[in-house]
Amino acid sequence: MSDMTSARRALAARLHGAGVLARPEWRRAVEAVPRELFLRPGVFVPGPAGRWTPVPAGRIGPALAYSDQSLVTRLDGRTTTEDVVEAVPGTPTSSSTVPSLVADMLGKAGVEDGHGVPEIGTGTGYSTALLCHRLGAEAVTTVEVDPGIARRASDALGTAGYVPHTVTGDGLLGHAGQAPYARIIATCAVRRVPESWLRQTRPGGVVLTTLGSWPNGSGLLRLTAGEDGGGEGEFLGHTSFMQARAQVPPPLAGDLSARVADADGDRTTDLDPALLLGGGMPAFLAQLTAPGSRVIRVDGLGTVLLDTERGNFAHFLRAGESWRVRQGGPVAPWDGIEEAVRAWQAAGRPGIETVRLRVSAGAHSYRVAGHPALRWHHPVS
């Protein structure tokens, strides 16, 4: 048995031991799909000073290929390991997802024999291959927005012996081709569930996606399609995925210090703004309360919460044991976030599993089960 094969089996055994490969079909899929084929032309691993160190495919050994970590394959939408020889700065835009997360999602989606499943966000094609192994490639459609990434994934899938329907285009539109589907699975994050996904899911079918507008504030949503084009959902845990292409916040134009120069209010808070970056429920509640905002930390300026579209901001400066918060724009974002986090603390800190979502034609409505004060209504324009 090759080193790659034994590493693959060892990974499957570890995931099974951790409870994420409860179903034998998925364990067999992880044991069968050679992840190394999906890592060409190479991956980037975290390097010095926030840079990314390229590791060409020929130097990817079993320990890296079968590590339970996300392996970045592209930076800034264009850079692959073929383009650089040294560590480079950049923002990851495609990767082979953490195997335990993929396996957990496939299990939670409740995929069964006979289901037709579109996957949104092909990436390297690794998770597509797992689906193909489980369902047969003819049942799987995978949609990737980036033509270069889509091409490489198709090649890798072919080399591994899988020929699913591959579509190059915007997965936020779903894929009407074989609709209605039993399941739609997204391996990129969305700020709201596209109406097309629910339209293309049969009543009782499931959309499984990461929902959120901040990397640290998102959650894994299982949404069951209703008869009326809407859906009822629950969150299954905290997850983080690359944001769907059209929903990535625009680059920050101009000088951030100029944007936060004119505050309408200035007060102190003893709620640590690091909560915004820390993940978990406070970050999840914050992005429900101030959707569309982002958190930026700048040396010399401090932490800034900024909603580029609306102009709302909160600027935090350490002041002894507490923080000074300067806010501006039509809505003071920290006021609402602080209120939500304190209400959540007073409610006994319920977990994300208690959050319910109703998606209707005009809105996403969130509530924390058993706590009527904890609710958010997001009209969808």
Ligand X SMILES: C[S@@+](CC[C@H](N)C(=O)[O-])C[C@H]1O[C@@H](n2cnc3c(N)ncnc32)[C@H](O)[C@@H]1O
Q: Which residues bind ligand X (CB under 6 A)?
A: 93-97, 102, 120-121, 123-124, 126-127, 143-146, 149, 170-172, 187-188, 241-242, 244-246
CA pair distance 74, 301, nearest whole angstrom: 31
Q: Are 130 and 29 in contact (CB under 8 A)?
A: yes
Query: Given strand 181-190, what is the order of strands in its sheet?
Result: 165-168, 140-144, 117-120, 181-190, 201-211, 219-225, 231-238, 355-359, 363-368, 371-379
Quote the least distance from Cβ 143 to ligand X, whole Å: 5
User: Using alpha carbons only, how large is the chain's radius of gyration in Å?
Assistant: 21
Q: Which two tokens stand for residue 261?
A: 């120069």
Q: Is 176 exposed, middle or buried (0-12, 13-18, 19+ CB in 10 A)?
A: exposed
96/209 with CB nearer ligand X: 96
188/341 with CB nearer ligand X: 188
Quote the least distance from Cβ 320 to ligand X, whole Å: 41
Quote the least distance from Cβ 73 to ligand X, whole Å: 8
The neighbouring-strand residues paired with 363 are 379
CA pair distance 109, 236, nearest whole angstrom: 11
103/305 with CB nearer ligand X: 103
39/305 with CB nearer ligand X: 39
**What SS3 state is found at 238?**
strand
Query: Given strand 313-319, what is the order of strands in its sheet?
Result: 265-269, 322-328, 313-319, 302-306, 294-298
CA pair distance 244, 297, nearest whole angstrom: 23
20/314 with CB nearer ligand X: 20
Quote the least distance from Cβ 76 to ligand X, whole Å: 12
146/307 with CB nearer ligand X: 146
Compute the residue count for the chain. Answer: 381
126/323 with CB nearer ligand X: 126
Nearest residue to the partner ligand X, using Cβ: 123
Quote the least distance from Cβ 169 to ligand X, whole Å: 7
Residue closest to 316 by CA, chosen among 328, 329, 327:
327
Quote the least distance from Cβ 8 to ligand X, whole Å: 15
Q: Are 31 and 9 in contact (CB under 8 A)?
A: yes
Quote the least distance from Cβ 16 to ligand X, whole Å: 19
14/310 with CB nearer ligand X: 14
Quote the least distance from Cβ 127 to ligand X, whole Å: 4
